[in-house]
Chains A and B, each alone.
Chain A
Amino acid sequence: MLGQVPRRPTDTGGMFSVSYYSENSDGRAAFVKALDYSAAMRHPNSARLLQAMTESYNFERDLLDSCQRQRMSRIVRLLDSGSITDPQFGHTVDYLVFEPADGDVRRALDDMDAFDTGWALRACHHAAVGLQQLHSALVAHQDVKPSNLLVFGEFMAKLGDLGRSSRQGTAAPHDPAAVRGDPAYAPPELLYGHVDPDWQVRCQACDLYLLGSLILFIFTRTQTTAELLRRLPTVLKPAQFGGTFGGPYPTVLPYLINAFDEVTEGFEKQLAGKRAGELATHFRLLCHPDPTQRGDEKRRQRGQNPYTLERLISRLDVLRRDAEVGFLRKSTS
């Protein structure tokens, strides 16, 4: 790397990672995520933290390598990875170099003069394909959110930041945490500490929820967890997130379902056009507060994995094409 440009406002990362926008000698741009060990060393629990950071780095790098090998077209590409030693202070810096995006979905939405339903559905479709590619490799993303849906040019979106992912059968450093991704977007069951021992329910159902919430954000600029919690009184909100509820998850579920129905109704009301109901139904199946009710009910009844996204992907594609010929009115903004 020849030069570094200052951190862009839209770059994200953990507490001890630093992101850069860089160029190499050929002028090819790249996005660099570097682990800031020096900051971690000042932490009171530095030894454990350094170990966790190293494990996280290795886990993410290996996962990205694996995605690359499996040609996952909707996962952001890892261009390079390695370690360098800071010549001045002697610190070792681990880095990951990614293909550079034009920004994330928030910026793309704000740059539009008017909301483009076709474009929005394309972005949703690409996010769903990205997740399905990961799920096929028994990987769950766990941190799908607007800042992690990266936009490349006018027609391409990819999922980025696999730092909180989980791979079935492989221990990840962040596995013990109930909420692995950003808690602001996390499905309600995890905020209430209800962790299903089954990996599919625990991780893939979480991804479905996050995908549904991303779809909601793209169309309404709200997200499901916030909309659910804002409809609950303090006594029913989780104890760690502004509430006092400490009971088992099934006891709060009727209230979450009630709030969720209101969110779904609001979403459907806001959408217009022939296929609006269908999109709201997909949202409902993705984000249901009961993780065992998410996904494809027919597959569940047949004893198959209900969290597969194949059908949704094909329907989103149909909806996108419909939108482009005007079945879904461009009326959500």
Chain B
Amino acid sequence: MSAAERDTQRQVIPRWRDLVSTIAHRELEPVRQLDSVSFLPSDEDREGLHQREREFEDHGSLSFAADLVSASLVLGPTPRTVAAARVMVDDPRTPEMARLTAASVLHQAEGSPEPDNDVDAADQAARRRAIRDLRGRLHSNPRNAIKWAELARHYTTEGHARKAINAMRLALAMAPADRFILRGAVRLWVHLREPDVAVDVLKAARSVVVTDPWLLASDIAAAATAGRTSRNIRTARQMVTQGRHTPFAMSELISALATLELVAGQSRRARKLFRSALADPNENSIAQAEWASQHLTGLDIDADQIEKSAEARARDQSVGDDVEGTLGSTWEWLIDQPFSAEPAIFGSYHASMWQRFDEGARFAKEGLRANPRDWLLLNNRAFCLACMDQWADAERLIREAEHLAPTEEQPTVMATQGLIRFRAGDVAAGRDLYEQAIAQLDDRAQRIRAELMLTSELVRAGDPTAPQAAQRIIDQIVGSSNRDLMIWIAFLPRQARL
């Protein structure tokens, strides 16, 4: 067989990022326009600030500068705040904490970004350091729900499911109604293939869920993943009709409802809702719409919007021949959601299809860190390794995949086993395994792909009947107009394609 994709129904399961990124993605914003009004401190409130300003003017020394900078951080800057921050930075006696505060004020005043201390999600060593650091900090101050949720995310990325669950349970106990934590919890349990638990977590926080479109969206998506229907769909529809929330806050919720309509075969309603969700979408809604556009005609997404979502870009670019773009965007998607199997499967499949086996193996390896028991990632990595003639490692992986794959997926694994046998030099066993797999595969495209791979291996093994079989398969693929299969034809050795 070959590397494969998981053809699942995409739901708007919330993204799970660190707090800083979640804020940068605007997902903690107020849900109503009226809530997002900022008032200025009153003149009376600012009187103390002006006093600090006058004192700094008269003294100009460290403590007066520090007092003015601190007051400015609460009450807003004054014309002398930057000068005070500079005094603090320049004075060698300035304590470290005050120096950092002053430097941050100067960065802000100069409009330059502050130094980024965030963990690079792609760096495993950095992630492990982050876990050590978080554990140390939580040991000293254990009542910090945000840090427990962050620890849960790092544990998930490192594949420590039980530890992640424990950390998330503590976060939920400390902040049972918090949007950031509840959405992280939903993502965790969906990731662990326990969407029912995700639904239950939201059920326990129903009073906030029914008032927050971000949580309602997560509830509908988690319930759909669990194969259930959310109890809050009516509330969600009312919320959409009432139009009291910002379009941005509503984008995921409308996408979730649109997905329900799409699955129910209500294409017109789905299209209308998806268009409405794209009025001011978040990254996840763009990705959802891009996925939907491949199942729904007439849903066009602006190039500017696609640009904002790595997943949407990867899906969009994969339709064309932009292999570099597809794989680059998929890496970006995987770095954004490092615990998720989806980008790793998508990347390993597309890299395999374009015969970028080394990159395909790396995608699968990254995905396996957080998903060590994902049979498809094991299969895809085994496929890539076999194609690079590393059949011994491939053998070990495929045995694991065989053990984990559900019965209906066994033919895929069997086909990859066939490939490995071929590469190990056992042509008869390879052929036998491929033929058994082909006989069991229901999906026509998959069957043709397996036949193509078998023929390709037979050509390589010098089987005299293979070139004729190759021609027959090429004709079948051309007749099917399946774009992916057209690319897979390149697996046939050149002489068989002439």
- A interface residues (Cβ-Cβ under 8 A, vs B): 9-10, 12, 14-15, 105-107, 109-110, 114-115, 146-147, 179, 182-185, 191, 217, 219-223, 225-227, 229-230, 233-236, 239-247, 250-251, 253-255, 257-258, 261, 264-267, 269-270, 284, 332-333
Contacts and interface: CB of A to CB of B under 8 A. Distances in A.
B145 A254 contact: yes
20 contacts: A12-B51, A109-B63, A182-B48, A182-B71, A217-B67, A222-B70, A230-B104, A235-B30, A239-B38, A241-B74, A241-B75, A242-B38, A242-B74, A246-B30, A250-B177, A251-B178, A258-B19, A261-B137, A266-B96, A266-B97
Lowest 5 A-B CB distances belong to which pairs? A9-B58, A106-B63, A221-B66, A226-B70, A184-B71
B70 A184 contact: yes
Contact of A184 (B26, B28, B74, B100): B74
B213 to A, nearest CB: 15
Contacts of B75: 183-184, 241
B63 A146 contact: yes
A110 B95 contact: no
Interface stretch (B39-47, B277-285, B444-452, B478-486): B39-47
Given A220-B97, A221-B95, A251 B44 contact: no
Given A184-B70, A226-B73, A258-B144, A333 B38 contact: no
Given A246-B30, A258-B147, A261-B144, 19 more contacts: A9-B54, A14-B47, A106-B64, A107-B59, A110-B59, A217-B66, A219-B95, A220-B95, A221-B97, A222-B95, A227-B73, A244-B36, A254-B146, A254-B181, A255-B146, A257-B146, A261-B147, A332-B95, A333-B95
B69 A257 contact: no
Nearest to A231: B104
Interface of B: 19, 23, 26, 28-30, 35-42, 44-45, 47-49, 51-52, 54-55, 58-59, 61-64, 66-67, 69-71, 73-76, 88, 93-98, 100-101, 104, 137, 140-141, 143-147, 174-175, 177-178, 180-181
Contacts of A257: 143-146
B55 to A, nearest CB: 5
A244 B143 contact: no
A226 B52 CA distance: 14
B97 A270 contact: yes
A110 B70 contact: no
Nearest to A218: B63
Given A106-B63, A184-B71, A242-B76, A222 B146 contact: no
A261 B141 contact: yes
Contact of A264 (B40, B141, B147): B141
A15 B44 contact: yes
A240 B41 contact: yes
Which residue of A114, A147, A250 has the most chain B CB atoms within 10 A of its CB atom? A147
A239 B97 CA distance: 26
B205 to A, nearest CB: 12
A233 B140 CA distance: 25
B66 A244 contact: no
B236 to A, nearest CB: 21
Nearest to A259: B146
B64 A230 contact: no
B98 A222 contact: yes
A251 B208 CA distance: 11
A132 B15 CA distance: 50
Contact of B29 (A12, A184, A225, A235): A235
A285 to B, nearest CB: 12
Contacts of B98: 220-222
B140 A235 contact: no
Nearest to B105: A230
Nearest to A227: B101
Nearest to A8: B58
A233 B71 CA distance: 17
Contacts of A225: 70, 74
Contacts of B67: 106, 146-147, 217, 221, 223
Contact of B30 (A114, A227, A244, A255): A244
Contacts of B41: 183, 240-241
